[in-house]
Amino acid sequence: MTKNATDSTRRVNLLTNVDWITIVLYFALVIIGWLNIYAAVYNDESKSIYDISQKYGMQLIWIGSSIVLIFLIFLIDSNFYSFFAYILYALTIGLLVSVLFFGKEVNGARSWFQIGGFRLQPAEFAKLATCLAISKLLSSSNMITQKFRTLFLMGIFIAIPSGLVILQNDTGTALVYSAFILVLYREGWVPGNLLFFCVLIVALFIATLLVNPLSLIIFLIVLAFVIFGIMRRRLYEFLLSLGIFIVSLSILYGINHFLPHPFSLYYVIALAAGVSCIAYFILNLWFKIPNLNTIVIFLALSITFTFTVDYLFDKVLSEHQRTRITVLLGMETDLKGAGYNVNQSKIAIGSGGFWGKGFLQGTQTKYDFVPEQSTDFIFCTIGEEFGFLGSTIVIGLFVALLLRIIFLAERQRSLFSRIYGYAVASVFLFHLVINIGMTIGLAPVIGIPLPFFSYGGSSLWAFTILLFIFIRLDASRLELLA
């Protein structure tokens, strides 16, 4: 068979093997997103949906150029993405560094390159490059012999772009990189206990802000004893551990009582818990009680973390981020300030009812009550004009896309392709949950786009390339990747 005949056969196979269901879902979301951008910025003076002087006209150009990118992705051999993964990652890191010096500052974030009327945000493409890099790393490493080295490098691969994005004052985008823990969990690199621990950290952070510190530390200690009692179901072990804590607390309370400047009860109980933890570790050297060390570590780390929350909240987070969190948690009300966007978004979504007000009939939309409605808060346009039904359909399309990506990932013969597929799903899931969550007041406003809906060329291009590289890998799944 000649070379031309072979190439022709491969092109036919590629078209046959490509997953058209995912492509249809992609174009459905893109078209609906474009129509919602039109609705979000519609005005009677520029009614033409093709007017490139308006955002919806420019978004149509981004859509057209995205289609060109799709064709280019399919023209490139699938081995390219694995072979050049580290090089593409290095190039995007270079762009992230460059934008700190030569970028244009918009809304307090120096994240864009400005070339005439065109703006490019490297942080969006850094997520794509990181997906490729960690897929290459995990697929070429041996979990048994290289686990520590691989996890260390994985941490470096994630820390560098997220750190550079934080320097750009774009914390929201930096948080997206936390989604990669789902990839590590799927591939067995981190146990489920660690995933639970990460969820616990978030819960503890929120609880420390909302609950009285003394009540919280008492709750953690009681919880540790309850878990130990349920897991062991041996009364003498439970009584022994409880007795050690009571004796430690009694001694420290007595000492504290006679001090010239006594500490608060909170610190006395925390210190008693710490002394007890040390006693439990020493005790376990002789008695070898299963699960005791795990529970002790859980208790010690939980209590220690509660002491760091105030520092993290006051020193690490910026003022506007602290305000958004306190408003979200109901610690303060600021309907004219930090809470204004979310409040107006909730009004818009709630006013849509079940059926919605109809296309271009949204009053919150038409009179610009919701800031950033064509970007971060685009979902409230769906809720107002298409109601609960339309919102459900849109979320259903996103869920279908996520499930389809996971299905495709599971059928890959190449480890690189499977890991990359889960990385894509993780990034999409994070954006979907956080963006919709912040428009309905269930997540802090951190300013990340809704894939294929939010206005912007960088966002649309990055998500398109991210998805279609995986579709290209899936279409070639019967070939052996490098």
pLDDT digits (tens, 9 = 90+) for 200-232: 777 887 788 777 788 888 888 888 888 877 776
pLDDT digits (tens, 9 = 90+) for 63-78: 999 999 999 999 998 8
| 3-class secondary structure, 109 | strand
**Mean pLDDT throughout 234-248?**
83
Residue 432 has pLDDT above 80, yes or no: yes
Give, in order, the Cα–Cα distances in Å from 340 to each of 333, 439, 448: 10, 11, 18
> What's the rounded Cα separation, in Å, for the pair 371 and 341?
6
- Amino acid letter at 60? L
Residue indicated by tokens 């998500």: 463
**Mean pLDDT throughout 262-289?**
82
Q: How confident is the model at residue 145 (pLDDT cuts 50, 70, 90)?
A: low
pLDDT digits (tens, 9 = 90+) for 330-347: 555 555 555 677 777 778
Is 179 within 8 Å of 448 (Cβ atoms)? no
pLDDT digits (tens, 9 = 90+) for 151-171: 888 889 999 999 998 888 887
DSSP state of 481: P
**Mean pLDDT throughout 450-469?**
92
Residue 6 has pLDDT above 80, yes or no: no
Higher pLDDT, 480 or 21: 21
> What is the reported pLDDT for 368?
65
Q: Which of 464, 477, 479 shows the shortest CA–CA distance to 23?
A: 464
DSSP bridge partners of 46: 43
Going 64 to 65 to 68 to 70, the CA torsion angle's sign is negative
pLDDT digits (tens, 9 = 90+) for 85-125: 999 999 999 999 998 888 787 766 677 787 776 788 898 99
pLDDT digits (tens, 9 = 90+) for 55-66: 888 899 999 999
CA 178 to chain centre: 6
pLDDT digits (tens, 9 = 90+) for 356-378: 888 877 777 666 667 666 777 88
> What is the reported pLDDT for 151?
83
> What's the rounded Cα separation, in Å, for the pair 228 and 236?
12
Residue 408 has pLDDT above 90, yes or no: yes
Structure tokens at 138: 């995990």
Torsion of CA 365, 367, 373, 374, to 10 degrees: 80
Q: In what order do the strands lie in the sheet with 118-120?
A: 104-106, 109-115, 118-120
Residue 1 has pLDDT above 50, yes or no: no
Q: How confident is the model at residue 12 (pLDDT cuts 50, 70, 90)?
A: very low
> What is the reported pLDDT for 8?
47
Average pLDDT, the chain: 82
> What's the rounded Cα separation, in Å, for the pair 212 and 217?
9
pLDDT digits (tens, 9 = 90+) for 343-355: 777 788 888 888 8
DSSP bridge partners of 115: 118
- What single string gives the DSSP state of each residue in 1-61? --HHHHHHHHHHHHHHHS-HHHHHHHHHHHHHHHHHHHHHS-BTTB--TT-TTSHHHHHHH
Is 100 within 8 Å of 111 (Cβ atoms)? no
Is 421 within 8 Å of 364 (Cβ atoms)? no
pTM over 0.85: no
> What's the rounded Cα separation, in Å, for the pair 128 and 422?
12
Give, in order, the Cα–Cα distances in Å from 39 to each of 36, 50, 58, 233, 347: 5, 13, 14, 61, 17
> What is the reported pLDDT for 468?
96
